[in-house]
Copies of this chain bind each other. A is one copy, B any other.
Amino acid sequence: MEIFYIDEDKHYVAIDCIIFGFDAGELKLLLLKRKFEPAKGEWSVMGGFLKREESLDEGARRILLQLTGLTDIYMEQLQSFGDVNRDPGERTISIAFWALIKVNDNDIKLAKTHGAQWVSIEKIPQLIFDHNNMVQKGLKTLRNKIVTKPIGFELLPEKFTLPQLQSLYEAINQEQMDKRNFRKRILETGLLDKMEEKEKQSSKKGAYYYMFNKEKYRLFAEMGFHFQMKAKKDSLIKGNCQV
């Protein structure tokens, strides 16, 4: 090989992952302190360089695995970022991905060894390079996506309650919804199977657990879906998310 394009420039290609999680009623981002120069010690999203023998998706999965130890992560390509001076070290093109993980899945043991932390999206610090842009874009994409694909479940444990699910939607959209309307509409999709068991930590009465129905889920993921609700009258959540 190596015969066709010898006169063309070659570039470093990085992969950066915007990793979302949901915990304690808040949408969070997995951030870490960069461990090499340039910008060592500053906050960033997880990233790495693309290797010669891996595809973009494979690269992203490798990086997610390194950080979380998880192999089965919902992940999509976000966008490429390629301003000439975006990385002060050297000209590097970054292909950003976004991913959704279940925070409690394994407590992200590896994340700790990497010095990673979950940070509420309402308190994102200054990040290196153009990572704040990436996060912004990722958030926007997540908000759009959740309307047409029932991906909320990727952020929740296998069993969850309706109040939890609603608070997830509220956290993502930064607005409150009407309880009755939310329950009615989400249930009539047929996407949820009610369990007999109740969750009793967060209330005396207890809320029924639900699981999502995998066949319906797959169906909607392919065929399309539409779940969008207006915010409750005059109630945007205070302190709008500032990335």
Determine if A181 is an interface residue (Cβ-Cβ < 8 Å). no
Q: How far is the CA of A49 from the CA of B8 in the complex (A)?
A: 7
Contact B5 A92 (CB under 8 A): yes
Copies of the protein in its oligomer: 2
Q: How far is the CA of A90 from the CA of B8 in the complex (A)?
A: 12
Q: Binding site of A, secondary structure by majority: helix, strand, loop or mixed?
A: loop
Tell me, rounded to whole Å, the shortest Cβ–Cβ distance linking A12 to chain B. Answer: 6
List, in ascending order, chain B residues with CB within 8 A of A8's CB: 12, 49
List, in ascending order, chain B residues with CB within 8 A of A81's CB: 56
List, in ascending order, chain B residues with CB within 8 A of A79's CB: 77
List, in ascending order, chain B residues with CB within 8 A of A80's CB: 56, 77, 80, 95
Interface size class of A (residues with CB under 8 A): 35 or more
- Among B2, B13, B38, B77, point to the contact of A11 (Cβ < 8 A): B13
Contact A1 B90 (CB under 8 A): yes
Q: Name A residues whose Cβ lies closer than 8 Å to a Cβ of B.
A: 1-5, 8-13, 36-38, 49-57, 59, 77, 79-84, 89-93, 95
Q: How far is the CA of A51 from the CA of B10 in the complex (A)?
A: 8
Q: Which residue of B lies closest to A51 (CB)?
A: B9
List, in ascending order, chain B residues with CB within 8 A of A90's CB: 1-5
Contact A38 B4 (CB under 8 A): yes
Q: How far is the CA of A13 from the CA of B80 in the complex (A)?
A: 12
Contact A13 B93 (CB under 8 A): yes
Contact B89 A37 (CB under 8 A): no
A1-B90, A5-B12, A89-B4 known; A50 vs B82 contact (CB < 8 Å): yes
